[in-house]
Amino acid sequence: GEDVEQSLFLSVREGDSSVINCTYTDSSSTYLYWYKQEPGAGLQLLTYIFSNMDMKQDQRLTVLLNKKDKHLSLRIADTQTGDSAIYFCALSRDYKLSFGAGTTVTVRA
Amino acid sequence: EAGVAQSPRYKIIEKRQSVAFWCNPISGHATLYWYQQILGQGPKLLIQFQNNGVVDDSQLPKDRFSAERLKGVDSTLKIQPAKLEDSAVYLCASSPRSSYNEQFFGPGTRLTVL
């Protein structure tokens, strides 16, 4: 199976950068994703990266993929209070997603 | 465009009772998924439909869970009888046939089994 691991909590000061990390065991995934979940809501796709890419930037979001180390990260620049949420790393294989347990990001003033 | 709709949003039942959840995917999305999200964990796929056919139900506890998507649009997920460990948020997602498989999630149904 595709074991996906994330650190559980991250606290960051408003205006600083946040870095959320994810490691995985199965390297055959085609796409890797970052989802955001706010309280009481479903998951929202933030960004994704194709497995043959090393980096993808989308406004304040930067995704880095290290296939050798099976490590995926999400950097949020200029973190805002609205970024407080749970962030899930997910891997896709055969149109199915495997999720990590999520990282709870708390933005403090 | 309207998002994925789910109802009810909350349900509280006693163990051994039955419960059903409903999902209406985004119009035109052929693929529909049901996930179980236990508190503190990521979503776990229960079943995947392509139109009205089951693609993958390997993680569905078939002794108590059932799901159907009769006309290839709406779907229902049923639990009968419920156990305490079924307490979770049940998420429905739908997806168009795209290269990167973006899945659009509904708000979920929070089930509490007492």
* DSSP 8-state secondary structure symbol assigned to residue A79: -
Q: What is the pLDDT of residue B99?
A: 59
Q: Which pLDDT score, from 0 to 100, does residue A85 have?
A: 97
Q: How close A80 gets to chain B, by Cα (Å)?
A: 23
Per the model's pLDDT, the better-predicted residue between B102 and B32 turns out to be: B32
Amino acid B1: pLDDT? 64
Residues 6+ apart with CB under 8 A from A47: A33, A34, A56, A58, A61, A63, A74
What integer pLDDT is reported at residue A41 of this predicted model? Answer: 85
Q: What is the pLDDT of residue A1?
A: 40
Q: What is the pLDDT of residues B44-94, one digit of tens each?
A: 999 999 988 999 999 999 999 999 998 889 999 999 999 999 999 999 999
pLDDT of residue B43: 94
Cβ pairs A/B, distance under 8 A: 53
What does the block give as tokens for A3? Answer: 């074991």
Is there a contact between B45 and A102 if contact means CB atoms under 8 Å apart? Answer: no
Interface contact A10, partner B, CB < 8 A: no
Q: Please give the angle made by the CA atoms of B96, B100 and B106, to the nearest 5 degrees.
A: 50
pLDDT at residue A11 greater than cutoff 90: yes
> Which chain A residue is nearest to residue B50, measuring alpha carbons?
A95
Determine the Cα–Cα distance for residues A37 and A85; give it in Å rounded to an integer. Answer: 6
Task: State the pLDDT at residue B100.
Answer: 64
Averaged over B97-112, what is the pLDDT?
86
Within 13 Å of residue A85, how many CA atoms lie on the same side as its CB? 20
- Contact list, A45 vs chain B (CB under 8 Å): 102-104
pLDDT (average), residues A27-51? 91
Q: Give the pLDDT confidence score for residue B12 in this predicted structure.
A: 98
User: Are A75 and A81 within 8 A, CB to CB?
Assistant: no
pLDDT for position A60: 97
Query: Looking at residues A24-45, what average pLDDT do you find?
Result: 90
Q: pLDDT digit string (tens) for B3-52?
A: 999 999 999 999 999 999 999 999 999 999 999 999 989 999 999 999 88
pLDDT tens digits, one per residue of A17-34: 999 999 999 888 889 999
pLDDT value for B52: 85
Binary contact (A43, B106; C-beta < 8 A): no
**Residue B84 confidence (pLDDT):** 97
